[in-house]
Amino acid sequence: MHIQDMILTLQKHWSNQGCILMQAYDTEKGAGTMSPMTLLRSLGPEPWNVAYVEPSRRPADGRYGENPNRLYQHHQFQVIMKPSPENIQELYLDSLKQLGIDPLKHDIRFVEDNWENPTLGAAGLGWEVWLDGMEITQFTYFQQIGGLEADPVSVEITYGLERLASYIQDKENVFDLTWTEGVTLHDIFYQPEYEHSRYTFEESNTDLLFKWFSDYEQEAKQLMEKALVFPAYDYVLKCSHTFNLLDAKGVISVTERTGYIGRVRSLARSIASLYVKEREKLGFPMLKKEGEQDDA
């Protein structure tokens, strides 16, 4: 099965479970969790079910397109369901069957893995899902987001698409994976992988990056003061990505590192509270809508 068909299959499956199909968010980010469709929307009481593919940038993992397993940018298929359905494990296992993975022919396990992202003040409990010893999915019940208690609890399912595909397509090297008939990952992503690695490790302008970090931080704060949640959040994401670029280049010492992470976290925390406050001002509209449907 090509990656493209995997995406179509997963979209269909989760759409059938009532998920809104979203597109990737247009700001650089390290993980699908950081999309506002997850990080902000999983806050507060409003129900929210969504699925989308997120290209995720991890500058430090860039390997000039030479490593068979590591990528500057990989793809996650992200599902969020709030509140978490009672049969979520079954729904997930069904999705594997849709991908042609017959549980009877394999060894599928839910192995404890508690997820924590200090930069986002987020923590959750759950598992990594093993398919014959390979971690293919991160499965998390959010307990805290942006320093706020998650109530109700969202469940987050993150499929590592390249990982899963390398199993399904039985390939040793991610660049040999086929995106669709006749098109490999190498065709599409080799050049960007190489160039981004060069940029990250050799050509980026460190002074500019440091300046950008501060500017983005300023802008995020300025916008938060005006209660403009979503624009402010875009600048938090930019801060985070800029920090990742600096970190990958090795120009941030360990002591400074804690400081930078603290700055991003403090932005994430403020914005989490601000989001909930602003939604409350609007009367949690998606909650109301659900109530009306119940009445009808």
Partner 1 sequence: MTHNVLFEVGLEDMPARFLKSTESQFLNKTKTWLDEQRLTYHSVESFITPRRFSVLIKDLSEKQPDLHEEVKGPAKKIALDESGNWTKAAIGFAKGQGADVDAIYFKEIKGEDYVHVEKFIEGQRADEILQNFKDVILSLTFPKNMRWSDRSLRFIRPIKWLLALKDDEVIPFEIEGVQTSNQSFGHRFLGSTFTLSSPTEYEEKLETEWVIANSDKRKKLIMEQLNHLETSHNWVIPVDDDLLEEVTQLVEYPTAFYGQFSDDFLEVPEEALVTSMKEHQRYFPVRDQNNRLLSYFIGVRNGNEDYLDTVAKGNEKVLNARLKDAVFFYQEDQKQTIDDYNQKLSRMVFQENLGTIKDKVDRITNLTEQIAKSLSLNETDINDAVRTAEICKFDLVTQMVNEFTNLQGIMGEKYARLFGESEAVAKGINEHYMPKHTNDALPNSTIGSIVSVADKLDTIVGCISVGLVPSGSQDPYALRRQTMGVIRILKEENWSLSFEALIDLVLEQLTEVNKESHDSEITLAVKRFFESRISYLAKEEKISQDIIRSVSHRNLGVVSQLFAKAHLLENKRTDEAFKPTQEALVRVMNLAKKGDSVQIDETQFENEYENNLFNRIEAVQQPISDAYDKEDYQDVLNQLTLLTDDINAFFDHTMVMADDSNVRSNRLAMLNRIAEMINPLADFTLIEWKQQF
Which residue's CB is nearer to partner 1, number 167 or number 190? Answer: 167
Closer CB to partner 1, 12 or 97, in the complex: 97
Count other C-beta atoms under 10 Å from residue 5's C-beta: 17
**Residue 82 in tokens:** 């709030």
The closest alpha carbon to 205, from 246, 254, 244, 236, belongs to 246
Using CB under 8 A, count the residues that bind partner 1. Answer: 39
Is the CB of 82 or the CB of 238 nearer to partner 1? Answer: 82
Contact 128, 114 (CB under 8 A): no
Burial of 17 (0-12, 13-18, 19+ CB in 10 A): middle
Q: Looking at residue 202, what DSSP letter applies?
A: I
Q: Binding mask 218-247 vs partner 1 (x if CB under 8 A, - otherwise)? A: ------------------------------
Site for partner 1 in 74-133 (CB under 8 A): 83-86, 89, 93, 103-112, 114, 125, 127, 131-133
Burial class (CB in 10 A: 0-12, 13-18, 19+), 223: buried
Please report whether residue 210 would count as binding partner 1 according to CB under 8 A.
no
C-beta of 206 vs 218, nearer to partner 1: 206
What's the CA gap between 273 and 293, in Å, rounded? Answer: 28
Tell me how far, at minimum, the Cβ of 151 lies from partner 1, in Å.
Answer: 7
Binding residues for partner 1 (CB under 8 A)? 67-69, 83-86, 89, 93, 103-112, 114, 125, 127, 131-134, 141, 143, 150-153, 155, 167, 172, 250, 253-255
